Amino acid sequence: MNKVLQTLSWHDEGCERINTITASYEHLPLAKKLCFLYFAAFPEDKEIDAKSLLQIWVAERLVPDEVNRTLEETAECFLEDLVQRSLVQVSNRFPDGSIKYCQVHDVLRDLAIHKAKEMNFLMVCSKEDGRESCNMKGKLVLERYEGMPHLKYLQLDTYVRYNDSDVSKFGKWIRSLKYLETLDLRGTDHLKDLSHWIWHGKTLRHVLLCSDVLTPSLELSRTQGPPASVDVKNLQTLQGVKYNKSWNTSVVPDIPEVRELDIRCCPESGVATLANLLCKLKHVVYLQIAGDCDGFFKLRIRDFPFYENLKSLVLIKYDFSLGECLTVSDDMLEMLPPHLTELSLRGFEFVSDPMPMLEKLRSLNTLRISRRGIPNSATVRRITCSAGGFEQLEELVLEDLLVEEWKIEMGAMPMLKRLRIKYCDPLSVPPQLIHLDRLQFLDWVTYVQVDKEVINDIYTQRPHLRRYW
């Protein structure tokens, strides 16, 4: 089934650039050389998800243990070093500055392929594997790979489909993978509940089950989080799992090392239990809670051990049948972690203009506020971004806000690059928009014809502006 990585010609062009690139590679320590060679496994011009890449490096034991660092942190340092050496290009970064997507130049990919073949480093499946019809993909995965008990990294794409009779077989196969470290099923949102199968691997470090952040419906979050009775102490990432009904204020899973936590379908009755879980976590940098998450603002979040370290916070209330919409006060906003670089709030009302409180978050890079799904009962009609406020903000998204006036003072949002305003009628286009010198993307969607004309005038005056990102 497997073949040694096929040769792509590495031409000896004798040019200085090739010699420089080769020398840069040759001066790498062995561990970093092997990490670089892994780029040979990706298609040409492929934008590579950096987090997935780092998880693969860790799973393949390409990254050594270092004192006072997790393997993932060491892997991230390796990737940054490859970037500094011009062996890898950064396509995009997260708000906190970490690499989101990366890729390698064609010449460097050829070098990686050449060296990987030389060292017999990689093996790939035959291209003939891709010729099967979509409805056979799931069966092929099981038939061809269920005999791989030492598999450490498993990622399934959107085209892998299973019928009901396959789910049990698939679950049993996952349960048999005793060394599995990364389970990435974000592309297979049609899979049914796998709770019974996946929480038996003591080596699990990353579990990613749902990628849909904006519409985290019940159908996309079928698998419950780990029960308290299982050993999952190595977990670093827990994404897209449902609130487990077996949890209570005295019984929650022991996941002390988790850094990225995403819980869906959290009921109102589960807020106290969730607080008990969060009070035991020290290293969380990304937190998403979706469901009836009003209670989050009522918790003593300053008491959470990770309070000072939290970088990204996403709160989404998407099931409004669970209770009345919470009106967020200034006191609640004041409790937000001070070092946030990303904040997303969806489904909340505000007592007053939230901007004066939010602009005090001096590290904030990305801010998204949406009222989508809330009945028309807005209490805030005017918002103001003051001079010197939001000094690091690069992306702002406002959606379905019933705001009539937006005042942007001179010197506000000096770093803003991406602005998206969707259906915030009857909001008029603020004239100060033209003074946002660093603005590169402007996406203003409105039903009002007059505002459409104003926006078109801005595009005319600023021809470098793009409409989408």
From the CB of residue 250, how many other CB atoms can be counted at a distance below 10 Å? 8
Q: How far apart are the C-alpha atoms of 433 and 409, rounded to whole Å?
A: 10
Mean pLDDT over 335-364 rounds to 93
pLDDT tens-digit readout, 80-106: 999 999 999 999 998 888 999 999 998
Helices (H), 344-418: 355-358
Residue 271's pLDDT band (boundaries 50, 70, 90)? confident
Residues pairing with 184 in the sheet: 155, 208
Q: Which of 65, 93, 125 is the endpoint of a domain?
A: 125
Mean pLDDT over 134-142 rounds to 44
In-domain check, residue 330: no
For the chain, how many structural domains are there in total?
3
What pLDDT score was predicted for residue 136? 40
What pLDDT score was predicted for residue 362? 94
Are 301 and 337 spatial neighbours (Cβ–Cβ below 8 Å)? Answer: yes
Listed as own residue / partner, the contacts of 64-72 with beta carbons closer than 8 Å and 24 or more positions apart are 64/31, 70/236, 70/257, 72/205, 72/236, 72/259
Give CA separation, 223 vs 248, 264, 428, in Å. 18, 10, 44
Mean pLDDT over 8-27 rounds to 65
pLDDT tens-digit readout, 183-210: 988 876 556 677 888 888 889 999 988 7
Residues pairing with 123 in the sheet: 4
Q: How far apart are the C-alpha atoms of 153 and 416, rounded to whole Å?
A: 38
Q: How far apart are the C-alpha atoms of 186 and 409, rounded to whole Å?
A: 42
Q: Are residues 207 and 305 in the same domain?
A: yes
Strands 382-385 and 286-291, sheet pairing = unpaired
Whole-prediction pTM value? 0.82
CATH number for the domain harbouring residue 97: 1.10.10.10
Residue span of the structural domain in which 194 resides? 132-323
pLDDT tens-digit readout, 45-72: 899 999 999 999 999 999 999 988 999 9
What pLDDT score was predicted for residue 164? 54
Q: Are residues 119 and 148 in the same domain?
A: no
Secondary structure in 3-state letters for 66-108: CCCCCHHHHHHHHHHHHHHCCCCEEEEECCCCCEEEEECCHHH
Q: State the average pLDDT for the chain.
A: 81
From the CB of residue 162, how many other CB atoms can be counted at a distance below 10 Å? 22
C-alpha closest to that of 296 among 271, 276, 266: 271
- Helix, strand or coil, per DSSP, at residue 38: helix
Q: Are residues 205 and 221 in the same domain?
A: yes
What pLDDT score was predicted for residue 368? 96
CATH number for the domain harbouring residue 248: 3.80.10
In-domain check, residue 333: no
For the cut 80, the answer to whether the pLDDT of residue 227 exceeds it is yes
pLDDT tens-digit readout, 371-417: 865 655 556 789 999 999 999 999 999 998 888 899 999 999 999 99
In-domain check, residue 210: yes
Residue 251's pLDDT band (boundaries 50, 70, 90)? confident
Q: Which of 267, 299, 323 is the endpoint of a domain?
A: 323
The pLDDT > 90 percentage for the chain reads: 39
What pLDDT score was predicted for residue 209? 84
Highest mean pLDDT among 138-147, 241-250, 427-436: 427-436
Are 138 and 160 spatial neighbours (Cβ–Cβ below 8 Å)? Answer: yes
Residue 319's pLDDT band (boundaries 50, 70, 90)? low
| Stronger pLDDT, 32 or 423, i.e. the higher one | 32
Residue 14's pLDDT band (boundaries 50, 70, 90)? very low
